[in-house]
Structure 1
């Protein structure tokens, strides 16, 4: 195998030449470090748009059902809601591959443009008929979904690699605070914006309300677009990328257990959290007395509280990921589904008569999900795989998760109709038990070690199994050939010896 990589120890000095995101570009250490900061900040802010577009439908569903009671049927509501999820699945797989082949920066810029274009189309949704308008909304949300889905592998892998360079000891908490925190913050942000717009329209003019809410979503990725076009690919990526002849068979052979763990746990988590998020407005509206004159306003206010109650779990997970461990924290979070899901499900008839109590327990269930799988899945998926295939494996795991979200959203209404509302929570409890089992048997017990160590082990495995491809960007290999930076052959041989 021909490889050429820059030794991290040779990255000292303010004017040390390093390869940037474009061929032939020389990058100073100072510029690379500044880029790492930009990457961490820009990744976090942009991921707010994912949480926003996912959760704005919570109230838009309630609004559209009031505005178009005949046309906005359960089938149409599920289709419009699921369009984002379907787009996310394609985006996660496609962008996961893209950010490994073409670089993190290319993928990040592409996802930003997709979100903006899709958001504009959703805002302008129209048609000769109401049904036609909903079809345009469905397609537009699919485009948005492709963009926000691509944010998962593109932004998360970039944030993880940048945090690895900036602060290795606190990489886990930093990663969580710039990924799952923005995603979770998207819920109260979406509801807050809805309340502001709804009040500004005097609780009327429903069409104006949902169009303005969709339009505001376009501003979130645009707010950090300048920083995104200024970032560089990480040093880990430049030294470990495989531009062609990726040995996918060896990747599957090496990572099959980890893929089952991250994909399976993500499927179970999204199967519960997404339908309960998307339809939380419908659920809460159903427990508010029908005699109330302000059902939409009260539903939004209770949803805001629900979203706020889910946030403490994010911070708790960030604290526990190093103290308790990634794997153990995720199992603890899944256990919360079991406890709170059974409490709500078994006492549903009594607890829903007291709306504040119902919302508090509902929020605690969502918060436990954030603390465990919500925080840990992205972190574990970014740490379990080598840099050369990190985007691909992360994107695949997240896509399987979104497939679970789509299935859960599709199954939510039939479960509610045929089994009763309580069973949506009892099933969440059952999923919690399965999640604990999948995590225990298939998820690696990570220690937060330097990501370059995992890269070296993977390279050594490829060498041992006869792969003779090339790693590293072309200009980096050229510098190694000229003797300006050392080759990695000795490092691979050392790792091979250690493994034996």
Structure 2
């Protein structure tokens, strides 16, 4: 079968007719619309449910760190705690880059199935962590968490790009809110969800048998991705992907020339967001335990659950307002929340920590503002800003830079507390909020939620104008027979 789109070098002045002329239309559709629509629906919901497992894994160490410190007070030092927590982040950085490329070259479905398997295998190994010595057990746990991180990190570009493309065809007018509710919401919900599971298991073990508690919690993490594995293995690649994929001769230099400013925006903002939010999430249990003097693990867990619950409303508010206020403005408002609440907590730390519920509320509001702004918008903007042929790669790179910020923040968290004091973890969050506002204002594009095909056509026109003559689309695709659709998109792209 012919390739869906074959590009040849054309004069830059030739607009919509040139683009439409170089769009080879085939007379039938490879996949029926009914089957594709059903696949898109399952892709959206399966992406959301699967990302709950990522949120669960990202937040599982929050209470596990507290428990392991109680169980192994001498062996589980701050160095070991940081290493185990960072293993997930290092794995996520590698997974986001590798799977980002994979889901562009091999397809969204192939990448998603692989990431699911990695999370399950890593979860099994973490559950079975063992060693001749306690330190050996922690090293096995570190390696297992790294494998989980590879799968969880790969879920970001694989699930998010497929969900965005599916929503673009299924519910184009509500793509933004739908995307947020199946990406950042399950990731954020993973926090209180992980704590809830932890508390249930802890109570079932009568607040003893700590080894059983963390092993069961690790094991439960294998269940969530398996529940949607059938739907994932049956899913189809999106129509956008099958029409816009670039599987050979990817013009990376042209991609950088076209998207350099946007990449600085999404990568820089994601770095700042994860630098603040991840260590403050992973070590929030440790922070609360230092405030709740002589508190039991159950008490710390209850406050941790309250913190996670307060952080959730920001996700819903951001989803409601993203189309009305604009993605860029929402992200700047969210970063401003870091400035406001970070300074309140940091400057009044000695006083506010004497009233634990008040401290937890302000802490939760800071986390909620992060969810409202960059937490919601970074994934959405990264899925909308880039053309389909390089969406996974650019999304994965942006998320990987973010997770690099998370790893650096996690590594620096304990030294900052030790040398500068607890309050400086929040003052630095406020500083990152200011820088985040500036990066967003200068580098992040102000998108309106238009059909993703328009961005594909603009990118295609740019490549053609620079002399790129490669092919777009899967070899086995038979594109939409209605040539008027593509011509209309081309005209709209050039006029925009």
What TM-score bracket applies, with the shorter chain setting the length? over 0.9
Which residue number in structure 1 is paired with residue 252 of structure 2?
248
Partner in structure 1 of residue 15 of structure 2: none
**CA–CA distance in structure 2, aligned partners of residues 413 and 395 of structure 1:** 28
1:4 partnered with 2:1? no
1:76 aligns with 2:87: no
For 2:453 and 2:493, locate their aligned partners in 1 and report how far apart those are by CA, in whole Å. Answer: 15
Where 2:329 maps in the other structure, the secondary structure is helix
Unaligned runs of 5+ in 2: 7-26
Residue 230 (structure 1) shift: 1.1
| Aligned pairs for 1:5-84 within 5 A | 5=5, 18-19=29-30, 27-84=31-88
1:136 match: secondary structure? helix
- Find the counterpart in structure 2 of residue 470 from structure 1: 471
Aligned-pair distance for 1:18? 2.9
Q: Could you say which residue in structure 1 is the equivalent of 2:408?
A: 407
How far the C-alpha of 1:490 sits from its partner, in A, is: 6.2
Checking the alignment, whether the CA contact within 8 Å between 1:274 and 1:408 is kept in structure 2 is yes
The alignment of Structure 1 onto Structure 2 pairs a total of residues equal to 475
In the TM superposition, residue 214 of structure 1 has moved relative to its aligned partner by 0.2
CA contact 2:457–2:493 (8 Å) conserved in 1: no
User: Given the two structures, how large is their TM-score scaled by the length of structure 1?
Assistant: 0.92
Which of these residues, 109, 112, 119, is aligned with residue 108 of structure 1? 112
Aligned to 2:11: none
- Please say if residues 43 and 235 of structure 2, whose CA atoms lie closer than 8 Å, have aligned partners that are also in contact: yes
- Residues 233-264 of structure 1 show CA distances to partners (whole Å, capped at 9, x for unaligned) of 00000000011100000000000000000000
Instruction: Name stretches of at least 5 consecutive residues in structure 1 with no aligned partner.
Output: 7-15, 20-26
Q: How much is the aligned-residue C-alpha RMSD, in angstroms?
A: 1.8
Q: Deviations over 1:327-355 (max 9, x none)?
A: 00000000000000000000000000000
**1:50 offset after TM fit, Å?**
1.0
In the alignment, the residues of structure 2 paired with residue 39 and residue 102 of structure 1 have an alpha-carbon distance, to the nearest angstrom, of 17
What is the TM-score with the length of structure 2 in the denominator? 0.93
The 3 A distance-change label for structure 1 pair 3 and 279 is same
> Alignment partner for residue 122 of structure 2, among 118, 125, 131?
118
- CA 467–492 in structure 1, closer or farther in 2 if over 3 Å, else same: farther
Instruction: After superposition, give the CA deviation of every residue in 1:412-441 in whole Å (9 maximum; x if it has no partner).
Output: 000000000000000000000000000000
- In structure 2, the residue corresponding to 1:71 is in which secondary structure? coil
Deviation of 1:4 (Å): 2.5
Other-structure match for 1:224:
228
Q: Within 2, Cα distance between the matches of 1:472 and 1:268?
A: 35
Q: Distance in 2 between matches of 1:59 and 1:417?
A: 21
**Alignment CA distance shift 1:140-1:163 (3 Å):** same
Match of 1:23 in 2: none
Q: How does 1:115-154 map to 2 (within 5 A)?
A: 115-154=119-158
Q: Flag the structure with more relative contact order, 1 or 2, with Cα contacts below 8 A and sequence separation at least 6.
A: 2
Deviation at 1:17, TM superposition (A): 5.1
Matches within 5 A, 1:413-432: 413-432=414-433
Q: Deviations over 1:418-471 (max 9, x none)?
A: 000000000000000000000000000000000000000000000000001011
